[in-house]
Chains A and B, each alone.
Chain A
Amino acid sequence: MNISSLWKRFRSRKYRHAFVEAQLKRGVPTQIRTMRLKRCWTQKELAQKCDLEQGTISRIENPDYGQLSFETVLAVARGFDCAFIGRFVPFSQLRTLVEDSPERDDLVPTFEQEDAEITSYTEFSEEAVKGSIAVPVQSVVNIHPPRRPLLPSRRCGDLDQGKLAVV
Chain B
Amino acid sequence: MSVWEFMDYVSASGQNRILDWYEAQELEAQVAFDQTVYALRRIRDWHGRWQIKPLTKTHAGLWQVRFKIGRAENEIKYRPVGIVTRDARVSPTGQFVLLLGCQKKLGQYSPPAAFDEALELKRDFEAGRGDLYEHF
Contact = CB atoms under 8 A, between A and B. Distances in A.
Contacts of A163: 47, 54
Contacts of A167: 83-87
Interface stretch (A23-31, A48-56, A117-125, A128-136): A23-31
A64 to B, nearest CB: 6
Interface in A109-162: 155, 158-162
Interface in B30-57: 30-32, 34-35, 38-39, 42-51, 53-54
Contacts of B54: 162-165
A163 B54 CA distance: 8
B45 A164 contact: yes
Contacts of A160: 47-48
Nearest to B70: A64
A166 B87 contact: yes
B48 A162 contact: yes
B48 A103 contact: no
A164 B46 contact: yes
B28 interface: yes
Nearest to B3: A103
A127 B105 CA distance: 62
A100 B1 CA distance: 5
Contacts of A155: 47-48
A110 to B, nearest CB: 21
A106 B48 CA distance: 15
Band of interface residues on A: 35 or more
A158 B50 CA distance: 9
A5 interface: yes
A71 B134 CA distance: 41
Given A6-B38, A9-B34, A164 B84 contact: yes
Contact of A103 (B28, B44, B50): B44
A101 B71 contact: no
Contact of A165 (B34, B45, B68, B84): B84
Interface of B: 1-3, 27-28, 30-32, 34-35, 38-39, 42-51, 53-54, 61, 67-71, 75, 83-87, 89-90, 136
30 contacts: A5-B136, A6-B136, A14-B27, A15-B31, A18-B28, A19-B31, A19-B34, A22-B28, A22-B31, A22-B35, A30-B51, A64-B75, A98-B38, A102-B1, A102-B42, A103-B3, A103-B42, A103-B43, A103-B44, A158-B50, A159-B47, A162-B47, A162-B53, A162-B54, A163-B54, A164-B46, A164-B54, A165-B87, A166-B90, A167-B85
Given A19-B34, A162-B53, A163-B54, 9 more contacts: A30-B51, A64-B68, A98-B38, A102-B1, A103-B1, A163-B47, A164-B87, A166-B90, A167-B85
